[in-house]
């Protein structure tokens, strides 16, 4: 006997379907049958308010009594949704004899068909089944598919259907139809599809925050855009885990700007964004953290405005938040730090310049992005500006990824620190003091971990 299931979508419009039982579990079964236009009859001594309301509105017929064998006469399929296994066995046995499809809820052995977990996007339906073995897994997969295939797929499916019908009416050959429809499908839908716009007519650029590196910290919108983009221009520090989410159809372009080595120019990035958008593509400009925090989004948005290219910003989790979460630190504290100061130490040319007198505050937390090779310089100037050498600090390298490293030390120890792997963020201030920590670690040469004296 084969366990293989035949996957099919049934047309139930006008067909008589019986549901035995009218409790909470039966509600969803009844609703799905009504949605498909079935002639639904419910048999049960009692019913929930929702089932009673459906009966009052004429959507179903509810007979307030116990099941009897004659109820199966003329029925196409039956759903048994009661608490009685004995009744389910009797219904299933009779349905088998009379050639009626039967589903006994939560009893796979008494089912001719299963209710799948379904993603509905207009005429597009994606059904997931585990053959009745693991419905929770099916529901989990459905949630993932709902993120991948957003509401825009409903209008997109309608559009492809209209094009297909028009080409058939015009007498296009099967080869012509196939080529055109494959071209449309490869284009992927955009959020504008719901408004009736043709997403292939004009491109758009999305500035997407990749967050600190953990794919689960992406927004749902960012995830969908990565799946459907035609071109992705990414920074050097976007994690491999995030890059793996990019759809197979996308052209992936490394637009990383690396200090001290040959890299792509900012002007060339502008040119590529504009060129891909003018070619009618959905373009993702993927930047680590949040694109509006210490990135070049301002320059790139200005270039797109000048070129009359539409764009949108999708925020991401910025590195300061990710680092603080990893180290279990509150960036602000009513007693210790009422101010939070973001600054960048990144300079490809010249020294790291800052108003150190204004930064050396005991009532503030400093979040220093891209400290790079400047740890000794930062420590020296903060101490010279008035911060005690024992001021605690934390460095978080590659936050939220499997390669994450948390280094707890103080300003006096910073000059001795070998440069941790990028991306890294330095937090300075009393909020970083971990009183329970007895030893702090620093990244040593060759990847080994060495202990440093703990701050108190």
The reply to whether 4 falls in a domain is no
What are the C-alpha distances in Å from 367 to residues 4, 321, 356, 431? 57, 9, 14, 11
Do residues 395 and 444 share a domain? yes
235 is catalytic: yes
Do residues 195 and 224 share a domain? no
Catalytic-role residue among 235, 282, 290, 381: 235
CA distance 157 to 145: 16
pLDDT of residue 53: 95
Classify residue 317 by burial, with Cβ atoms within 10 Å: 0-12, 13-18, 19+. Answer: buried
CA distance 114 to 108: 8
Do residues 108 and 168 share a domain? no
Do residues 276 and 353 share a domain? no
Q: Which of 243, 239, 219 is nearest to 229 (CA)?
A: 243
DSSP symbol at 64:
-
CA distance 325 to 340: 15
Do residues 334 and 255 share a domain? no
Do residues 421 and 346 share a domain? yes
Q: Which of 259, 215, 279, 450 is nearest to 348 (CA)?
A: 259
Domain of residue 165, residue span:
151-200
pLDDT of residue 372: 85
The reply to whether 448 falls in a domain is yes
CA atoms within 13 A on the CB side of 234: 25
What are the pLDDT digits (tens) for 234-282? 998 899 999 999 888 889 999 986 555 556 789 999 999 999 999 889 9
Do residues 174 and 62 share a domain? no
> Could you say which of 68, 89, 115 is where a domain stops?
115
| Residue that is written with structure tokens 């790291």 in the block | 352
pLDDT of residue 364: 92
- pTM above 0.75? no
CATH of the domain at 222: 3.40.1010.10
Total count of domains within the chain = 4
Do residues 223 and 195 share a domain? no
Do residues 220 and 263 share a domain? yes
Do residues 326 and 448 share a domain? yes
State what percent of residues in the chain have pLDDT above 90. Answer: 63
- Give every residue of the chain whose pLDDT is below 50, as ranges: 192-201, 348, 350, 435-456
Do residues 173 and 208 share a domain? no
Catalytic-role residue among 59, 221, 257, 452: 257
């Amino acid at each position: 006997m084969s366990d293989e299931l035949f996957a099919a979508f049934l047309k139930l419009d006008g067909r008589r379907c019986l549901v035995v039982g009218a409790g909470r579990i039966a509600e969803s079964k009844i609703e799905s049958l009504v949605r498909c236009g079935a002639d639904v009859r419910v048999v049960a001594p009692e019913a929930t308010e929702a089932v009673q309301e459906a009966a009052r509105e004429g959507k179903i017929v509810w007979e307030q009594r116990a099941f009897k064998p004659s109820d199966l006469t003329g029925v196409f399929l039956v759903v048994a949704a009661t608490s009685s296994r004995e009744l389910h066995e009797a219904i299933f046995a009779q349905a088998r004899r009379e050639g009626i499809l039967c589903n006994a809820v939560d009893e796979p052995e008494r089912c001719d068909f299963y209710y799948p977990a379904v993603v509905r996007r207009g005429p597009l339906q994606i059904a997931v089944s585990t053959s009745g073995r693991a419905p929770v897994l099916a529901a989990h997969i459905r949630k993932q598919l709902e993120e991948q295939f957003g509401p825009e797929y409903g209008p997109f499916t309608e559009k492809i259907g209209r094009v297909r019908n028009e080409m058939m009416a015009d007498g296009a050959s099967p080869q012509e139809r196939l080529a055109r429809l494959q071209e449309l499908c490869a284009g992927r839908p955009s959020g504008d599809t719901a408004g009736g716009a043709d997403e292939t007519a004009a491109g758009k650029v999305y500035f997407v925050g990749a967050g600190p590196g953990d794919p689960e910290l992406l927004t749902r919108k960012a995830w969908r855009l990565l799946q459907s983009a035609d071109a992705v221009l990414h920074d050097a520090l976007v994690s491999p885990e995030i890059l793996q989410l990019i759809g197979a159809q996308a052209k992936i372009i490394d637009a990383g700007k690396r200090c001290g080595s040959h890299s792509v120019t900012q002007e060339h990035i502008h040119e590529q964004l504009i060129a891909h958008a003018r070619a009618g593509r959905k373009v993702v400009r993927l930047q680590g953290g949040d694109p509006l925090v210490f990135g070049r989004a301002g320059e790139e948005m200005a270039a797109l405005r000048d070129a009359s290219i539409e764009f949108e910003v999708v925020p991401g989790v910025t590195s300061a938040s990710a680092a603080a979460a990893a180290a279990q630190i509150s960036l602000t504290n009513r007693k210790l730090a009422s101010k939070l100061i973001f600054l960048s130490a990144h300079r490809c040319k010249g020294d790291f310049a800052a108003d150190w007198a204004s930064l050396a505050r005991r009532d503030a937390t400093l979040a220093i992005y891209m400290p790079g090779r400047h740890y000794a310089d930062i420590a020296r100037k903060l101490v010279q500006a008035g911060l005690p050498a024992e001021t605690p600090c934390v460095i978080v390298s590659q936050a939220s990824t499997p390669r994450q490293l948390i280094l707890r030390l103080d300003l006096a120890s910073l000059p001795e620190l070998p440069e941790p792997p990028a991306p890294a963020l330095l937090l300075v201030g009393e909020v970083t003091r971990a009183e329970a920590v007895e030893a702090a670690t620093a990244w040593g040469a060759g990847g080994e971990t060495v202990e440093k004296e703990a701050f108190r």
